[in-house]
Amino acid sequence: MLKEKLFDEIAGKISDVIAASPAKDVEKNVRAMMASAFTKMDLVTREEFEVQQEVLVRSREKLTELEARIAELEARLQTNNPQDAL
C-alpha cells in the first residue's frame, strides 16, 4: 500500500515536471508540424477510403457478372453459327 502511494506520488511529480518543461512545447510543435504535413499530403479519411473500397468491390462483382454474360452470349453465338468460328 505504501509502495503504491509512493509510486503514484512519484508518477504525479514526474507528470508535473514534464508538463512544466519545454518537452510539452516540443510535443505541441511536433503535433502541429505533423498535422500540417498530413494536410499537405492530401490524404483521405478512413471513411472516404472505406466508401471507395465498397465501390471497388461492387464494381468487381459487376465486372465478373458481365464477363460471364459475355462468355454465355459468345457460346450461344458459336452454337447458332458454327461457320463463323472458322
The domain limits of the chain are 1-43, 44-86
pLDDT given for residue 31 in this prediction: 81
Closest CA to 71 of 82, 63, 61: 63
Sign of the CA dihedral with 49 first, then 50, 51, and 56 last:
positive
* Mean pLDDT of the chain, nearest integer: 83
pLDDT given for residue 8 in this prediction: 80
pLDDT given for residue 75 in this prediction: 94
Judged by DSSP in three states, 32 sits in: helix
pTM exceeding 0.85:
no
State the Cα–Cα distance between residues 25 and 19, nearest whole angstrom.
Answer: 9
pLDDT in tens, the chain (86 residues): 566 777 688 788 777 776 777 766 777 788 888 888 877 887 788 999 999 999 999 999 999 999 999 999 999 999 988 776 55
